[in-house]
A and B are shown apart, each in its own frame.
Chain A
């Protein structure tokens, strides 16, 4: 009778052998399509919208200057890398970036100004003056791309 006992109507377990493959596939998809977050945003921002945008390629060659508001505080704040800094630190920030790339890449360095729509043009102009002082002339007004309308 022992033979009969084994013939219970058990539900066969779902074979999970291919689960790792599926998950790995997802993993690789995300690894390829995304980029690493390099700094946490401390300032609050809404980027302006524009139609004539160009994609910023090669993140390595881009220095980001974040400008925005802080909650509960008046005025515009500048964030470089992970810290809130003053306008005087911009020159050093750019010079520091230059030491990290090879000589042939130097002319392709770009500075992306990511600023909130409610920032004052005055603040942005001060940043641009600092950039001109160190000859970082290629800039980019960060904006979200939208379709042209006729």
Chain B
């Protein structure tokens, strides 16, 4: 009774095949996850749209020239200083906001020269056409950070967690209305009104 052995399939070349696939994937794919500063552009301007009337004290003008030097409300500032200046400006809360309420959560100095209410405070980035994109993004980053830190402070006060974790939780549970509302309330306290003016042409 000779037992007929089924010959084993030679798996020696299996490794080669797998290596080939591996190398293919190593070459064609990238590891980096794209990240960036999310911004929203204003919609197209209609021709006969009236210009809104804005008081000078409610605007923080951040001007970057072509050499990368920064003026904030006509004072020379470095990139590291912008965040604190912006925070002081937004957090000032000297008067009544859009809905006629005073800013009872602001912790600023309530200066007469600075903004009235966070929902009226506008930050305007002005630049020349020759300004470098790198410094522009750096300044935008600092300004966004000012908003984020203020929002974080409010989230800590209201819900005893950080703004980041709140956003993350809201993202993970998109159907949870209470979380959505929380995010909305925090965002409304410091709405991001960050305008990018048309760059000035310099010859």
Contact = CB atoms under 8 A, between A and B. Distances in A.
A122 interface: yes
User: Interface residue tally of chain A, by bracket?
Assistant: 35 or more
Contacts of A125: 129, 196, 198-199
User: Interface residue tally of chain B, by bracket?
Assistant: 35 or more
B144 A52 contact: yes
B41 A132 contact: yes
Given A27-B25, A35-B29, A143-B141, A121 B136 contact: yes
A17 B44 CA distance: 64
Contacts, number: 161
Contacts of A145: 35
Contact of B19 (A23, A62, A110, A123): A23
A137 to B, nearest CB: 4
B136 A34 contact: no
A80 interface: no
A100 to B, nearest CB: 18
Contacts of B98: none
A120 B17 CA distance: 48
A52 to B, nearest CB: 4
B127 A121 contact: yes
Interface stretch (B8-16, B100-108, B115-123): B8-16
A131 B43 CA distance: 10
A122 B18 CA distance: 49
B174 to A, nearest CB: 12
A140 to B, nearest CB: 4
A26 B23 CA distance: 10
Interface in A95-114: 110, 112-113
Nearest to B64: A121
Interface string B123-165: 0000111111111111011001100100000000000000000
B1 interface: no
Contact of B41 (A30, A49, A115, A139): A139
Interface in B1-54: 11-12, 14-15, 17-19, 21-22, 25-26, 28-31, 33-44
Given A16-B12, A120-B133, A145-B35, 6 more contacts: A23-B22, A37-B29, A53-B36, A119-B133, A121-B132, A133-B44
13 contacts: A23-B15, A27-B18, A27-B21, A30-B25, A49-B138, A50-B138, A55-B33, A121-B128, A122-B199, A135-B44, A136-B41, A138-B41, A141-B37
Interface of B: 11-12, 14-15, 17-19, 21-22, 25-26, 28-31, 33-44, 64, 127-138, 140-141, 144-145, 148, 196, 198-199, 201
